[in-house]
Amino acid sequence: MISVVKFLPNRVQRLYHGGSGIDRLRGLAEPVDSRYPEDWIASCIDGNGREFHSIGHGISKALVDGTQWDFPALLHRRGEELLGPEHLQRYGETPAVLTKLLDAAERLPLQVHPTRADAAKYFNSSFGKTEAWIVLATRVINGEEPYLLVGFNEQLDRERFVQESLAGEYCEGLGMLHKLLVKPGDVVVIYGGLPHAIGSGVTMVEVMEPSDLVIVPERNCCGRILDDAKRYAGLDGATAMSLFDYTAYSAAALRQRCCPQPALVATQGASTLRTLIPRASCGYFAAQELTLAGSWQLDLASERCFRIGIVVDGCVTMGGESFMPGESFMIPYAATTGDLSGSGRLLFILPPDCH
């Protein structure tokens, strides 16, 4: 019986610069921004993007009792034990959720991901790409405060926005989105169809449906010029523009929809477990935060599912393994004990409910 699966670092190449926030999280002496600004956790997803290609890029490596596995191979061998029979039957030999560490040193291009309905219609995919951001750290870059662009505001001019999107350069379009200044601890859910962009200086845990489907209208993508096929993910421009949710939200309405408030789940001594993202907020995943001060016994029986853990502060021990900040692991579906000890803070990512 596997008690815990430890994931090795899995940096993934992207078009934008960043990653020093991940280095700082992991305690590296000389943090560096590069084109490896993400680390994919519990990934069976090919991380080859619009510009970069290499075999196995993005696929997680896992350690079990000192033996290293490609994560998909491990799931093929022990899928029912790790994922659970219901999950395995519904989604196959893959977690129905992808988790990333992400750090941006520049603004990412404005983009949109499909809903599940649009993903099935246009991409023959059973997964869309609703995602969520859990902010871990922020920093000021070139005098600019860290921010996120999320959803259209009340200045939306749909015709103008579509014109600029098709042209591939925004003069007014970015100003039609809400600009949210953020701090550590902020949580934002990005539903399929909601336009968004991550600003510079934000380190986060990103949780999402396991796909890499994206529409990127801007031609100049962090110094790389994209052709229309890459901008529109193989769709024509008009169809790509139809994937946007053109609802113009007030600031209050946007926060009510996209910024869930944490809720206390339980306490054990000086340790506390809180829900950061309830499944009800999006249906595709959930997130919890454990502040550990001594010990914690997870209640595995009340919610039978696998859990992905990411340590974001301190040192945590489980199943004979110690985990430092920036390290991650998986508690299998079939685990019978969930005893953790140490002092720090960690996040748990839970998959969709299969019942």
Question: In the chain, where are the structural domains located?
Answer: 5-258, 263-350
The band of 184, judged by pLDDT with boundaries at 50, 70 and 90, is very high
Average pLDDT over residues 15-24: 96
Alpha carbons 345 and 242: distance in angstroms, whole number = 41
- The pLDDT, as a whole number, for residue 319 is 86
Q: What tens digit of pLDDT does each residue of 57-66 get?
A: 889 999 999 9
pLDDT at residue 315 greater than cutoff 70: yes
Average pLDDT over residues 142-160: 97
The band of 48, judged by pLDDT with boundaries at 50, 70 and 90, is low
- In 3-state terms the chain splits into helix, strand, coil percentages (rounded to 5) of 20, 35, 45
Alpha carbons 193 and 175: distance in angstroms, whole number = 18
The band of 45, judged by pLDDT with boundaries at 50, 70 and 90, is confident
Alpha carbons 292 and 342: distance in angstroms, whole number = 7
Supply the pTM of this predicted model: 0.96
* Percentage of the residues of the chain whose pLDDT score is greater than 90: 87
Alpha carbons 319 and 336: distance in angstroms, whole number = 11
Alpha carbons 91 and 80: distance in angstroms, whole number = 12
Please give the mean pLDDT across all residues of the chain: 94
Find where tokens 């801007």 sit.
218
- The pLDDT, as a whole number, for residue 209 is 94
Whether CATH 2.60.120.10 fits 5-258:
yes
pLDDT at residue 43 greater than cutoff 90: yes
Question: Quick one: which H or E segment has residue 289?
Answer: strand 286-297
pLDDT at residue 281 greater than cutoff 90: no
Q: What tens digit of pLDDT does each residue of 74-132 get?
A: 999 999 999 999 999 999 999 999 999 999 999 999 999 999 999 999 999 999 999 99
Q: What distances in angstroms separate CA 311 from CA 10, 136, 278, one per listed residue? A: 15, 11, 20
Whether CATH 2.60.120.10 fits 263-350:
yes
Contact 39, 100 (CB under 8 A): yes
The band of 197, judged by pLDDT with boundaries at 50, 70 and 90, is very high
Average pLDDT over residues 152-172: 98
* Percentage of the residues of the chain whose pLDDT score is greater than 70: 97
The band of 190, judged by pLDDT with boundaries at 50, 70 and 90, is very high
pLDDT at residue 162 greater than cutoff 80: yes
Alpha carbons 264 and 279: distance in angstroms, whole number = 15
Count CB atoms within 10 A of the CB of residue 82: 26
Q: What tens digit of pLDDT does each residue of 5-14 get?
A: 999 999 999 9
- The pLDDT, as a whole number, for residue 302 is 82
Q: What tens digit of pLDDT does each residue of 226-268 get?
A: 999 999 999 999 999 999 999 999 999 999 999 999 999 999 9
